[in-house]
Structures are given as C-alpha cells and as structure tokens.
Amino acid sequence: MQGRIFETGDGSPSIFSEQFGVSYHSMHGAIQETEHVFIEAGLRYRAAELEELSILGIGMGTGLNAYMTYLEAERQQLKINYVTIEAFPLEFVVAEQLNYAELLGKEDTQALFLTLHEAAWGKTQELSPCFKFTKWLKRFEEIDFMNQFDVIYFDAFAPNAQPELWEADLLTKMYHALKPNGVLVTYCAKGVVKRTLKAIGFEVQAIPGPPRKREMTRAVKGS
C-alpha cells in the first residue's frame, strides 16, 4: 500500500492512507501511541505474569508495533512469538523512509526493522533468542486461530474507515484466538465497540488513553 508520510505530534512519522482516508497512527504521536496502547497496556500487562508470550498483531502497518515489541522483548529478556496479519502491505520503499530506530536511540537495529518488512510471508523467523516473527498476507476476516495468543494488538483502521472490522463477527474471532486470561488492547474507545466486546464475553476495561486521548480499551478473556 502506498501512502503519504507525515510527522506526528511527538516527532515520529506515520502514514496517511489515501485508500482508506485515515492515518496509521495517532496524529498526536505514533511512537507514544504504540508505547501506551500496545506495549504498556498489553505486553507489559501480561508480562507481569508471563515470561513467554504469544502476540497477534492485527495490522502490520508501518511495523512500529512489531518493532517496539522486539525492543521490549530484548529489554526484559522475554520470549515473544509475534504473529501479524496484513492485507495491504506497505511498499518497502516507504518503509525505508521511516526513522523509528533513530528516534528511539536504537540506530543499530534499523536493519532489524527493515527485516520485518522484507521477511517472507507465512514463514516464521527467529530474529533473536527472544523474538520469533511470522507475518501472514491475508484479510483479518480469514483468520481461524483458537486459544493461541496471550495478547492481541487490535490496530485495525478506525471504525469510520472500516466499520466491518469492529463488528461482532470479527471480534468474536479475536475472542477465540486468545488463550484464557488473554487480553485485547486497542486505541478505540467507542461505546458501540465496547458493548460488542462485552456481549461476546470479554471483561471490558476503559483505561486512560495515550496523550490527548481520554480513554482506550482493554478487553480481557476469562479464565
């Protein structure tokens, strides 16, 4: 997928999708959104109890979620199996222009970041002793995982852009994909989404959102 790169509020880049009319990250800060919504509220929340985690990234996008998960795995010496699904992959020439490694003070991992985009579809790669990575080229609606993941990063485009991705059918697939006590985290805090998650069987928690966003959602599957 092509898109226009722009600078978000925290100085980190994101991409505006001309196809869907939305940006890949919060305009207030791409890095700070990933740190708050996915790393802190999802990964670290479960890592408080687990040293090995399986994570499903709904949307590969810019690769920022996967990349920052790799950095956290290395920092905490966690063993993470990261699987991501993407139907409209970013063109590599665009990924090459994203300077997340520099902004995070991890210039020596720029090649690793690009490997996430170059990796073959459908093949698991061990990128470090702490981090296994697999990406699948398919639509979210096609997944059929059962009880496999401790955390889901639900980073689909916003409901106003792709409302079908926030309806009960797909969110039920997310419920089934999680292990008992697994969590789904998303930037979205719309009431209709939270009500749908609750109806499916999740315990829904409205927790503080990233800067300039009052709330986000963490949904917990029961034991």
Alpha-carbon span 186 to 43, nearest angstrom: 12
SS3 string, 60-123, reads CCCCHHHHHHHHHHHHHCCEEEEEEEECCCCCHHHHCCCCHHHHCCCHHHHHHHHHHHHCCCCC
Query: Domain segments of the chain: what residues?
Result: 30-220
CA atoms within 13 A on the CB side of 8: 24
Q: Are 155 and 187 in contact (CB under 8 A)?
A: yes
Tell me the pLDDT band of 1, cut-offs 50, 70 and 90.
Answer: low
**In the prediction, which pLDDT does 22 show?**
86
Residue 159 CB burial class (10 angstroms; 0-12, 13-18, ≥19): middle
Provide the angle, in degrees to the nearest 10, between the axes of the packed helices 168-177 and 191-200.
50
The CATH code belonging to domain 30-220 is 3.40.50.150
Paired tokens of 70 = 């790799």
Dump pLDDT digits (tens) for 164-206.
Answer: 999 999 999 999 999 999 999 999 999 999 999 999 999 999 9
Dump pLDDT digits (tens) for 11-39.
Answer: 999 999 888 888 999 999 999 999 999 99
Pairing of strands 131-137, 125-128: antiparallel
Residue with tokens 């499903």: 56
Dump pLDDT digits (tens) for 32-83.
Answer: 999 999 999 999 999 999 999 999 999 999 999 999 999 999 999 999 999 9
> pTM, whole model, 2 decimals?
0.96
